[in-house]
A and B are shown apart, each in its own frame.
Chain A
Amino acid sequence: MIIKLVIILFVLMLFVGGDRGLTSFFTLVRTVLAFIVNVYLIAWGLPAVPVTLLVCVFLVVTVIYGQNGWNSKMHGAAFSSVAVVVIIMIAIGPILVRAGISGYNEVEQYEEISMYLSADLAVPMSAVAVSATVLGVLGAVMDTAVAVSTAVNEVYVNNPHFDKKVLVDSGFAVGKDILGTTVNTLLFAGFGESIMLANLFVKNGNTFYEIINSKALFQEISALFVAVMGCLLVIPLASLVTPWFLTRNNGNNSQ
């Protein structure tokens, strides 16, 4: 079934997007491979957070520059994406660890499969969980960063005399447009993912206190909230940073 759906997706992307659809498809393949490499590197015992950071940088560089070319507006997008990933790791990571998002949750603990699996892994699951959360942010962050930088660049190319404030404002304006839709994508993907858990809570008749303190709920919503936070953080950052890259580049050219 997976193979059939992949073929359908490939054919559709080819027909709707043409050559560029093909490029997108191969970007996706590369992303999948990077994801798998990331998981295996962690499983082989390399420290999860630095490895994920490296993979994030690799993905940012290949996806952003690969789809949009090597130019100063994309420097703005790439820089702000990586910056947001680092900010989230440093600012949100410790909270996640303290709140205990890692390891099996209450439900998984009593599932058959977790009884068979050895738990002596010598891989700190808290770092793995932080890495997973950060990686979940990446797609939405890159998407938003590219959109904002492109818009700022558009304004800059048409009116190079605009001062930085106008550029920053236009970045914010586009950011808002993107935000409404990206947030929807994230929220509904989250709904789709947690429908099983929500059904479990409803069927089991758990109390409100049990639900709100459960690790299962926290795992689901922290991923969702952090992804939206990343998306929101990257809008001001990309709006501020891109004009700097653009005007700096301009200064170099005129010399």
Chain B
Amino acid sequence: MKLRSRYIALIIIVLLGIAGVIFTLNDAFLYETTVGKVIDVENSYLYMAEGNNGEREKYYDQALTLKILNGDWKDSLITLHNTYTSSGVNDERYYKGSQLMAAINEEGVGSSILGKKRDMYVVLFAAIFVFLLVAVSGRRGGIVLVSFMINLILLLAALSLYDQYGNLLKIIMGLMVLFSVLTLICAGGFHKKTWVAILSTLITILLCFGIYMATMKTSERIPYEMMDYIVNPTDLADLFLAGTLMGSLGAVMDVCISISAGVSEVTAKTPDITLRALVSSIREMGYDIMGTMINVLFFTYMSGTIPILVIKIKNGYTLYHLVSFQLFFEIICFLVGAIGIVLAIPVSGLFSVIFFGKILGGVRELHDGHVSGREVDG
């Protein structure tokens, strides 16, 4: 029965996905800009340019025959030219069958290509994502998806709130509390372990915030002007802090729910477990999570920087420059997240032990010395 409803859900997802892709392939009528489909491409070699280190960069010209899909010139054919290079750092290569947006003037004079139309790829990826999520983890996947959608909407709402009223940090702090409550309830249900996880997540994030502020205040100024996507130079410090803490939030929540769920299970199975055994099982769980989660975070943050790193290395920038300016923000995000992961282990361990009722007079001393001592040392 359960399996059958999953198959039905999967079929619906596949159909919706196909419908979505077909729709986005044919939604040119919704666009105000002119959309054209490339029906013929003729590439011709133009010339060779020499790069800084004697690289041989080839330039090509594309004669693109477009069939216009909307607007006043619908169904007419037009030929536009585009230049692309073998590297493609600052240009785009178009393929037969792909759709693009263009600014068309009288009879093609002074027309130009504005960019690729990518909505079908966004829909395709989203469809594959949802399909796999439900196929592999069923209802659980559905819950993850719903909590993701809610969080995304909340984030956008918070940013437009900020756009209107200002005071980013307060909004983001409130947002993070909302995020952790919602996401953890989705992950753990209405259960004691969820409340423990929420509490320890918030405390850990506060500690991360403290560590970030303490190290920032005692170090050289952060080169905010090197950040990507700057709109307004006055709020960069707040935005960066918000991004850093939010990036850590997911990982910290994961550690906290894993530990509190683990302790909840252990104490339910063996109610008379000694405190020492409980602490050592928390350590064991913590170790298992720590190494791998830090790895996950590293790859997530760093891999996106590879293209710009390659461009800069090719342009003669040193590793020192790259680390202190280009990679700086990703490294800080990663380090704060990693610190959050490690801190979350003793913090959630401490609260799990307290709330799952293992604290008794004499044993309490041992426990405090053992678990919270480590936070103080950090």
Using a CB–CB distance below 8 Å, which chain A residues touch chain B? 1-2, 4-6, 8-9, 11-13, 15-18, 20-21, 23-24, 27-28, 31-32, 35-36, 38-40, 42-43, 45, 63, 67, 95, 98-100, 102-104, 106-109, 111, 114, 117-126, 128-129, 131-133, 135-140, 142-143, 146-147, 172, 175-176, 179-193, 195-200, 202-204, 209, 212-219, 221-223, 225-229, 232-233, 235-236
Contact = CB atoms under 8 A, between A and B. Distances in A.
Interface in B233-284: 239, 242-251, 253-254, 257-258, 283
B307 A129 contact: yes
B129 A229 contact: yes
Give chain B's interface secondary structure class: helix
Nearest to A64: B292
A146 B292 contact: yes
Contact of A121 (B55, B135, B286, B306): B55
Given A120-B50, A203-B163, A218-B122, A125 B136 contact: no
B318 to A, nearest CB: 12
Contacts of B251: 185, 188-189
B339 interface: yes
A184 B129 contact: no
Contacts of A213: 101, 115-119
A138 B293 CA distance: 12
A183 B133 CA distance: 10
The 7 closest A-B pairs by CB, nearest first: A192-B247, A188-B250, A139-B299, A136-B303, A120-B57, A120-B51, A24-B291
B300 A227 contact: yes
A24 to B, nearest CB: 4
27 contacts: A5-B335, A5-B339, A12-B339, A18-B287, A21-B342, A28-B291, A63-B295, A103-B92, A107-B229, A109-B90, A120-B51, A120-B52, A121-B310, A121-B314, A124-B87, A139-B297, A139-B300, A143-B296, A176-B136, A176-B140, A185-B254, A187-B151, A203-B163, A203-B231, A212-B119, A212-B122, A229-B129
Nearest to A207: B32
Contacts of B128: 225, 229
Nearest to A138: B299
A68 B315 CA distance: 41
Nearest to A42: B310
B159 A202 contact: yes
Given A137-B299, A146-B292, 4 more contacts: A136-B300, A139-B297, A188-B249, A193-B301
B320 to A, nearest CB: 12
A63 B140 CA distance: 29
A135 B307 contact: no
B105 interface: no
Interface stretch (B12-20, B60-68, B72-80, B214-222): B214-222
A132 B306 contact: yes
A6 B331 CA distance: 10
Contact of A139 (B125, B216, B298, B331): B298
The interface centre, meaning the residue of B33, B50, B93, B309 with most chain A CB atoms within 10 A of its CB, is B309
A132 B155 contact: no
Give chain A's interface secondary structure class: helix
Nearest to B261: A177
Contacts of B89: 103-104, 119, 121, 125
Contact of B144 (A28, A117, A179): A179
B363 interface: no
A128 B309 CA distance: 10
A117 B57 CA distance: 14
B86 interface: yes
A95 B140 contact: no
A20 to B, nearest CB: 5
Contacts of B242: 195
B132 A233 contact: yes
Interface string B198-241: 00000000000001000110111010000111111000000100
A197 B197 CA distance: 30
A184 B250 contact: yes
The interface centre, meaning the residue of B31, B128, B179, B211 with most chain A CB atoms within 10 A of its CB, is B128
Contacts of A39: 306, 309-310, 313
B335 A119 contact: no
Contacts of A236: 136
Contact of B57 (A121, A227, A228): A121
The interface centre, meaning the residue of A102, A117, A219, A228 with most chain B CB atoms within 10 A of its CB, is A117
Contacts of B247: 188-189, 191-193
Nearest to A44: B313
B323 interface: yes
B332 interface: yes
Given A99-B116, A180-B137, A189-B301, A118 B315 contact: yes
Contacts of B146: none
B156 interface: yes
The interface centre, meaning the residue of B90, B119, B211, B299 with most chain A CB atoms within 10 A of its CB, is B299
B39 interface: no
Given A139-B300, A187-B148, A221-B122, A199 B295 contact: no
Contacts of B143: 180
Contact of B116 (A40, A67, A100, A216): A100
B290 A100 contact: no
B328 A121 contact: no
A18 B291 CA distance: 12
Contacts of B359: none
B377 interface: yes
